[in-house]
Amino acid sequence: MPFGFDEFIVKEPTIAFRVLIDRYNIELREAQKIIDKGRLICNNRTITAKNERIFGAMKVLRFLPKSKGLKPIFRTKDFMVYDKPSGVLVHPNKILTPYSLLDEIRTFGGENANGVHRIDMETSGLVLASLNRDSEILLKGMFEKKLIKKSYLAWAKGKTKEEFIVDKPIKIRQNYDNSKHKVEINSAGKEAKTKFTRLLYNKDIDATLLKVEPLTGRTHQIRIHLFHMKHPILGDPLYGTSFEVAEAYLEERLSIEDRVKFTGAKRLMLHANTLEFKLKNQYFIKSQVNFVDVLLCN
C-alpha cells in the first residue's frame, strides 16, 4: 500500500504546520494541504487548525512509494520522462491504490517530484514528471498554454481516410443508465479538435495505424472522436462495444478472451508517442516502443 503512517514524537509545543515543514522539509502550501486533508494526528486526535500548538505522539498519513523498478527513459535536472505501461495509473485515485506511476516518480525523483499531466490508465507511453516545485509550476503552465505538443499512435478498426480532422465538442455524461461512455459528442460541450493521419493499413486484421495529434485536451477525446468516425480504437471496452460488455469491463467481470473477442485486443491500443517542447533548450522526446509489434504480438 503506497500510503502509510509516519509516527514520531514532538517534545515541545510547536505550531502544527511547522511540525510538518520541519519534519519533511516541505513548503507551507504542502503542509497546509496535509492538515486540510485530515492527515495529521496528534495524540490520536485529528488536527484541523494549522496554527494550533501541538506536542506528543504524532502520526502523519504519507505517500510511501514502492518501486517496481520502472526507471525514467530521459532525465534532466528539472524533469523526467517515463514510458508508462498500459494498465498503470499515473496518480493513485484513492488511498488504497496499490501502485501507480507516482511510486516510480517519487522513488527516482524524490518527494517533490510529480507528474505534470495524465494519460488514461490503459494508454501506454510518455508521461512527463517535474523534479521540483518550480519546474512543476512551469511545465503545468506550458501544458495549459499548449506550449507542449503531444502525439499518439492508435490502432483503429477498419480502413480510415489518409488524413482527417474531427472538430466536435465533448461533454461529460452525467447518466450511465443507457450508456457507459464517460463523455459524448454534444453541442453543449467544450471545444475539442483532433487531427488523424493514416500510417498504414493492415488488411489481415482490418485495422489502421494512425498518428494522432490532439489539438485540445479533453477527457477521452481521442477515443470518442474515433468512435464518432466509426473507427473505434482496438481494445476499447467502452467506446464501440455493447452496454453489456462495457458494464462487464467496469465491474471487472470481462475476461481477456471476451475482451479480445468483442474489442479486437486485450488492451486499449493507444500509445502516447511523442512530446515536444522548449524548456531552456529544445527537447524532442520519442518513445522507443514499436507499437506495430505491440498489437501483432498480442
Give the pLDDT band (50/70/90) at residue 18: very high
Identify whether residues 167 and 106 lie together within a single domain.
no
> How far is CA 218 from each of CA 66, 129, 191, rounded to the nearest angstrom?
31, 20, 8
The pTM (predicted TM-score) of the whole model is 0.86
Q: Is the pLDDT of residue 23 over 70?
A: yes
CB 283 within 8 A of CB 276: yes
Q: Is the pLDDT of residue 294 over 60?
A: no
Nearest to 78 by CA among 149, 136, 150: 136
Q: Counting every residue, how long is the chain?
A: 298
Identify whether residues 261 and 164 lie together within a single domain.
yes
Identify whether residues 265 and 158 lie together within a single domain.
yes
CB 211 within 8 A of CB 153: yes
- CA dist 233 and 128 (Å) reads 24
Domain hosting 199: range is 151-271
Instruction: Quote the percentage of the chain above a pLDDT of 70.
Output: 94
User: Looking at 120, 177, 206, 293, which residue is catalytic?
Assistant: 120
Give the pLDDT band (50/70/90) at residue 298: very low
Catalytic residue flag (residue 120): yes
Least confident of 93-102, 192-201, 234-243: 93-102
Identify whether residues 160 and 237 lie together within a single domain.
yes
Identify whether residues 211 and 117 lie together within a single domain.
no
Domain boundary among 12, 42, 63: 63
- CA dist 135 and 141 (Å) reads 10
Give the pLDDT band (50/70/90) at residue 282: low
277 in a domain, yes or no?
Answer: no
Query: In this predicted model, what pLDDT tens digit does every residue of 48-105 receive, in sequence order?
Result: 998 999 999 999 998 889 999 999 999 999 999 999 999 999 999 888 789 999 999 9
Identify whether residues 213 and 266 lie together within a single domain.
yes
Q: Are strands 124-130 and 270-279 parallel, antiparallel or unpaired?
A: parallel
Identify whether residues 187 and 226 lie together within a single domain.
yes
Q: Is the pLDDT of residue 296 over 80?
A: no
What are the φ/ψ torsions at residue 33 (nearest 5 degrees)?
-65, -40
CATH number where 176 lies: 3.30.2350.10
Identify whether residues 241 and 175 lie together within a single domain.
yes
Q: How many domains is the chain built from?
A: 3
Identify whether residues 160 and 232 lie together within a single domain.
yes
Query: In this predicted model, what pLDDT tens digit does every residue of 110-140 receive, in sequence order?
Result: 988 999 999 999 999 999 999 998 999 999 9
State how far Cα 265 lies from the chain centre: 21
Nearest to 275 by CA among 119, 132, 110: 119
281 in a domain, yes or no?
Answer: no
CATH number where 9 lies: 3.10.290.10
Identify whether residues 9 and 49 lie together within a single domain.
yes
92 in a domain, yes or no?
Answer: yes
Domain boundary among 63, 87, 104: 63
Domain boundary among 47, 63, 79: 63
